[in-house]
Structure 1
Amino acid sequence: MSADDEARRAEQERRRRAALLLGDLLPDTTRDERDDDTSSPPRTKGGTPAPSRRDDELMRDVPPHHGG
């Protein structure tokens, strides 16, 4: 077995173990990349995505020293 094969197998094993530990961290597409109307966020009059209720909730939970 060559050094390249060993390195490739070690990398595959590292990725397999990381996937077992961490799971699927990132989706294949983000909400703003999707074309379907049901997952698209509401838009403001300027055409930018309107903040979601979850965004509002997270912004309320920001500590005072991090607020803007």
Structure 2
Amino acid sequence: MSTPDQPTPLTPAEAEARRRRLAEVFGDVLPETPDEPRAQGRPDSWYEENRPPHHG
């Protein structure tokens, strides 16, 4: 039995049907690529060093 805190997990077939139904209703609104691709040539350390303070 599921509770509001722990919904019943979907089977792979149910998850696929749900995804298709959402795409049918709302369209394909989200891109398949990351929001902000990283600039070429910058190492990960640059992003860590230049992270704004409010991003932890």
Give the TM-score band, short-chain normalised: 0.3 to 0.5
TM superposition score normalised by structure 1: 0.31
Structure showing greater radius of gyration is 1
Indicate the structure with greater helix content: 1
TM superposition score normalised by structure 2: 0.37
